[in-house]
Amino acid sequence: MEYSQLQIRPSGNEILAALKLIMAADPSLQVERQRVRGVDYLMFKEQPVSLREWFQIADEFPREDFLVFGEDRMTFGEAAEKSDSFAAVLQKEFNAKKGDRVAIVMRNYPEWVVAFMAAAKIGAIAVPLNGWWTAEEFAYGLSDAGATLVVCDAQRLDRISHCLADLGLRAIVVRNGIADDKVVFHYDRLQAKYAGQQPDFVAIDSEDDAYILYTSGSTGFPKGAVSSHRAVISTLKSWGVSYAASQFALQQKAAAAGVELPEEPPFPPAVLLPVPLFHVTGSNAGLLISFLSGRKVVLMYKWDVQDALSLIERERVTNIVSVPTQSMELMQAPNLAEFDLSSLNDIGGGGAARPQQHVGKLLKTFTQASTGIGYGLTETNAFGSNISGPDYAERPASAGRPTPPTSEIKVTDEDGKEMATGQVGEICLRSPSNMRAYWNRPEETAAAFRDGWFRSGDLGYLDAQGYLFIVDRLKDIIVRAGENISCLEVEACLYHHPDIAEVSVFGVPDERMGEKVGAVVLLKTGSMLEDGEVIDFVHDHLASFKCPEVIWFTSDPLPRTASEKIDKTVLRKTYLTD
């Protein structure tokens, strides 16, 4: 039997049994209860202190390809050198210090990775901002984070240039010749100036802040989720240990079945990354975990299914980390058979739920690949639960079990009481991967945690075998192709329109995107608006993915609850069942 056609993927129970064996044999993989910030977590006894040490794991792969972008290639060794020299740029040219916020605002370019590594190496806090934001949103994010410097591409520079002076910011622009060496500086010139230099490596503690990622929630403006170096590395090491356990379980199962596995995999590890690096799925599951195995990261400028198929074939991609929309389009490509995808052995997913009917289709379409999905949030560094292989085939509606060995999940009622098996409540997560806080939002931070458990705002239940099923959301958000959209933020924008009297925004089910933005609009007396005018108004102020795609105009006042809030339950029943 060929390895690419092997159909003996281990089950979750078999992986857990293998995990116990490898943890018992290796003290560095063992966990214990440790108290951090007043909370007892299951934590590794040993792990790198900071991301700077995490990057050094890849020193054993200096000549292996690390980043591929079009015709550009960068090895792990080159990335280490370039990030060292750029860290020197940050310190010596811009006086960046430990704790300073360095914003990164660009597409998935190799320079994004170099800038992120450089900031982490000197103890600065990286602030990757959503590249799809508008000028208004960027001004908010840069101001809220208190950024002192921004590294951007030319397209994003056009959107932030209006606020640089007001915020006292300087910008380093990549892949563009525009620079005045006063406010805007050229990345390539600075790299050339500091080539071969190293920064001053200040001491970094595991509880120091590593990055701030912005996430939309039910409170309107995006909030910055602050994660420590410990939190990020705990995620990465847990994933690495879980993968090692799955490989060990595979070897055990193959041996029992009389199947001889090759000593080395037929293709070196390579991941296709079509999701943005400013999301935890991209930064953690796609990029940072790759340092552990010397995995090549193939970056995409933007998602295009034909480009993806070509890259999988050309780069012999073994893994794809994507949102379910992208794996669906990959599966449904009309010319799929024209490409050699024999290297592809793992189709992961995150950021949004995958429709149940797609799971079986993926397994039938990519017979040589394992299919899985993970559940986590920006606030938990994408860490929470996962499911793959035969478990996923049997339970396509499940988000899996808590990811061993450090994730804990429970379901509670409004008062925090744990629900019985099968009962629906709020999903709460506890692990050392949880964020430290929302940036400068102590009240919202306090509301997000209960006794150290992060309150996800998602509703679900655990079955008798410990598998998690997500059924709804408490938070008023829409998840469109992995992007969280605050209903309140879109509503607040629409209420600024002079012709709109009342509005309610909620998610509309969509097979391709998962959800899309819907809005019920009551106009002021005598006003007239078309769908396109509403969309254009939102587009002028918010990122395009937040724009309503379905609009219903009504002549009746919107229904209200007893507390005089607009009743979205009634609206959903009215407009989504027509």
Q: For 259-274, write each residue's pLDDT tens digit.
A: 888 888 889 999 999 9
Query: Residue 90 is encoded by which pair of tokens?
Result: 């940050």
On whether residue 101 sits in a domain, the answer given is: yes
Question: Which domain CATH number covers 516?
Answer: 3.30.300.30
Q: Judging by beta carbons within 10 Å of its beta carbon (0-12, 13-18, 19+), is residue 176 exposed, middle or buried?
A: middle
**What pLDDT is recorded for position 578?**
57
- Name the E strands within 280-353: 296-299, 319-322, 346-349
**What pLDDT is recorded for position 3?**
39
- pTM above 0.85? yes
**Overall number of domains in the chain:** 3
**What pLDDT is recorded for position 350?**
84
Instruction: Indicate if 275 and 171 belong to the same structural domain.
Output: no
Torsion sign (Cα): 134, 137, 138, 139: positive
Instruction: Indicate if 331 and 417 belong to the same structural domain.
Output: yes
On whether residue 213 sits in a domain, the answer given is: no
Which residue, 473, 507, 536, sits at the end of a domain?
A: 473
Instruction: Indicate if 33 and 122 belong to the same structural domain.
Output: no
On whether residue 57 sits in a domain, the answer given is: no
- What residues pair up with 185 in beta bridges, in sequence order? 172
Low-confidence ranges of the chain (pLDDT < 70): 1-7, 217-220, 562-564, 578
The residue count of the chain comes to: 578
Which residue, 473, 498, 529, sits at the end of a domain?
A: 473
Instruction: Indicate if 176 and 237 belong to the same structural domain.
Output: no
On whether residue 270 sits in a domain, the answer given is: yes
Instruction: Indicate if 519 and 540 belong to the same structural domain.
Output: yes
Question: Which domain CATH number covers 34?
Answer: 3.40.50.12780
Which residue, 473, 498, 531, sits at the end of a domain?
A: 473
Q: Judging by beta carbons within 10 Å of its beta carbon (0-12, 13-18, 19+), is residue 351 exposed, middle or buried?
A: buried
Smallest CA-to-CA distance from 246 within 43, 28, 8, 430 is with 8
On whether residue 395 sits in a domain, the answer given is: yes
**C-alpha distances out from residue 448 to 373, 445, 452, Å:** 25, 5, 9
Instruction: Indicate if 236 and 133 belong to the same structural domain.
Output: no
Sequence-distant (≥ 6) Cβ neighbours of residue 338 within 8 angstroms:
none
On whether residue 13 sits in a domain, the answer given is: yes
Query: Each residue of 375-391: b (16+ CB within 10 Å) or e?
Result: bbbbbbbbbbbbbbbbb
**What pLDDT is recorded for position 47?**
96
Q: Is 532 helix (H, G, I), strand (E, B) or coil?
A: helix
**C-alpha distances out from residue 290 to 44, 61, 286, 294, 476, Å:** 20, 11, 7, 6, 34
Instruction: Indicate if 42 and 96 belong to the same structural domain.
Output: no
Which domain range does residue 378 map to? 3-46+229-473
Instruction: Indicate if 250 and 386 belong to the same structural domain.
Output: yes
- Name the E strands within 190-345: 209-215, 223-228, 270-273, 296-299, 319-322
Instruction: Indicate if 463 and 496 belong to the same structural domain.
Output: no
On whether residue 295 sits in a domain, the answer given is: yes
66-114 residue pLDDT tens: 999 999 999 999 999 999 999 999 999 999 999 999 999 999 999 999 9
Instruction: Indicate if 330 and 436 belong to the same structural domain.
Output: yes
Instruction: Indicate if 248 and 144 belong to the same structural domain.
Output: no
Q: Is 210 in contact with 233 (CB distance < 8 Å)?
A: no
Instruction: Indicate if 251 and 287 belong to the same structural domain.
Output: yes
On whether residue 222 sits in a domain, the answer given is: no
**What pLDDT is recorded for position 376?**
95
Question: Which domain CATH number covers 114?
Answer: 3.40.50.980
**What pLDDT is recorded for position 7?**
62
